Copies of this chain bind each other. A is one copy, B any other.
Amino acid sequence: MSSWIDWASVRSLYPWFNGSKDKTFELYTPDLVEKSDVVFLALPSGEAMKLAPQMLAKGKKVIDLGGDFRMQDTNLYSTYYQAEHTAKGLLPEAVYGLPEWNCESIRTAKLIANPGCYPTAAILPLAPLLKEGLIEQQNITINSLSGISGAGRAGSVELSFCEVNESASAYKVGTHQHIPEIATALESITGLAPEFTFIPHIIPIIRGIFTTITCDLTRSASLDDVTLAFEKYYADAPFVDFTSNQIPAIKDVVNTNMISFSFSEYQKSGKLVLHSVIDNLIKGAAGQAVQNMNLMCGFSECEGLR
């Protein structure tokens, strides 16, 4: 039984693959997994937890781009994904695939929970500051502006051009599934449980996330300390770019695996203000997945990502 997908079918779904006729596409079958070294899963919530166990049992490395394995606390999963977790036994071996922080665990992992787009954009600027005690754990505000591709490729009135273009709004305030993911990952990385308010917005662009974070510097912390903290953790990170003097724009990083962020002090209120940008489909999804694969397989971290 052949599982190959003919080229006309591929083309009708993804016409932009027209220059890639040398590539092949196959329907998923268990046999296909046998022939693979690494499996990337990009499935609706709850599906990866059904498939991953048998793949891992066969000794395959699995990178899940969904949310099934990102939180150890299955109560959080139930609350925000509104479904029971059915593969709790796998959670202890799942590694949160944020290479800038979990590089060593990723190298030896069998199961990677590839981070969500908003969490990647928020955690990378915040983690060094929390870990070094430079910012307060209260009054952290995270405002993110996301392109529409974050919602997936689906037909709905809400995502139609005429609803989205020339407009903007916020959504899922207080209920977005990335809220517990950010909390879990920050606690895992820093040992702290900071209190934050995360407001996701939708703006009329296809891809990219712009995030503005406001928080309080601790009494003794200075902007120089902030610079040092970022240099300490990210000086050698190939996909992290930071600066104190130029606010990034989404277009700076679209089509790349980079996160770029800036920081400054807001004189009137004394707040520290951070701005980060990523391409939600690359550093926020597929690119970071490849970065994880590179580490898992002993390749150069940047292979295929420049």
Chain B residue at minimum C-beta to C-beta distance from A238: B19
**For residue A147, which residues in chain B have a CB less than 8 angstroms away from its CB?**
166
Q: When the two chains form the complex, which single residue of B148, B155, B179 contacts A159, counting CB atoms closer than 8 Å?
A: B155
Q: When the two chains form the complex, which single residue of B15, B254, B255 contacts A248, counting CB atoms closer than 8 Å?
A: B15
**For residue A156, which residues in chain B have a CB less than 8 angstroms away from its CB?**
155, 160
**For residue A169, which residues in chain B have a CB less than 8 angstroms away from its CB?**
210, 247-250, 275, 277
Check A162–B153 contact: CB distance below 8 A: yes
A139 within 8 A of B: yes
Check B250–A166 contact: CB distance below 8 A: yes
**For residue A247, which residues in chain B have a CB less than 8 angstroms away from its CB?**
169-171, 173
Check A252–B15 contact: CB distance below 8 A: yes
A196 within 8 A of B: yes
Interface bin, chain A: 35 or more
A163 within 8 A of B: yes
CB distance from A87 to the nearest CB of B (A): 27
**For residue A249, which residues in chain B have a CB less than 8 angstroms away from its CB?**
15, 167-169
A258 within 8 A of B: yes
**For residue A148, which residues in chain B have a CB less than 8 angstroms away from its CB?**
160-162
Indicate whether A197 sits within 8 Å of B268 (C-beta atoms), given known contacts A165-B165, A167-B208, A212-B170.
yes
Chain B residue at minimum C-beta to C-beta distance from A146: B168
Check B173–A18 contact: CB distance below 8 A: no
Chain B residue at minimum C-beta to C-beta distance from A255: B255
**For residue A250, which residues in chain B have a CB less than 8 angstroms away from its CB?**
166-169
A288 within 8 A of B: no
Check A199–B273 contact: CB distance below 8 A: yes
Looking at A106-114, A120-128, A259-267, the stretch in contact with chain B turns out to be: A259-267
Chain B residue at minimum C-beta to C-beta distance from A270: B195
Chain B residue at minimum C-beta to C-beta distance from A242: B18
Indicate whether A157 sits within 8 Å of B154 (C-beta atoms), given known contacts A149-B162, A252-B15.
yes
Chain B residue at minimum C-beta to C-beta distance from A168: B210
**For residue A173, which residues in chain B have a CB less than 8 angstroms away from its CB?**
247, 264, 266, 273
**For residue A260, which residues in chain B have a CB less than 8 angstroms away from its CB?**
18
**For residue A239, which residues in chain B have a CB less than 8 angstroms away from its CB?**
19
Bound together, the chains give a CA A159 to CA B163 distance in angstroms of 10
List the 8 closest A-B pairs by CB distance, nearest first: A167-B251, A169-B249, A155-B156, A161-B164, A15-B252, A155-B157, A167-B250, A143-B143
Give me 24 A-to-B residue pairs in the complex whose CB atoms sit less than 8 angstroms apart, sorted by A's number: A15-B248, A18-B258, A19-B241, A147-B166, A153-B157, A154-B157, A155-B159, A165-B165, A166-B205, A166-B206, A166-B208, A166-B250, A167-B251, A168-B205, A168-B208, A171-B247, A174-B267, A174-B268, A174-B273, A195-B268, A195-B269, A199-B212, A199-B273, A204-B204
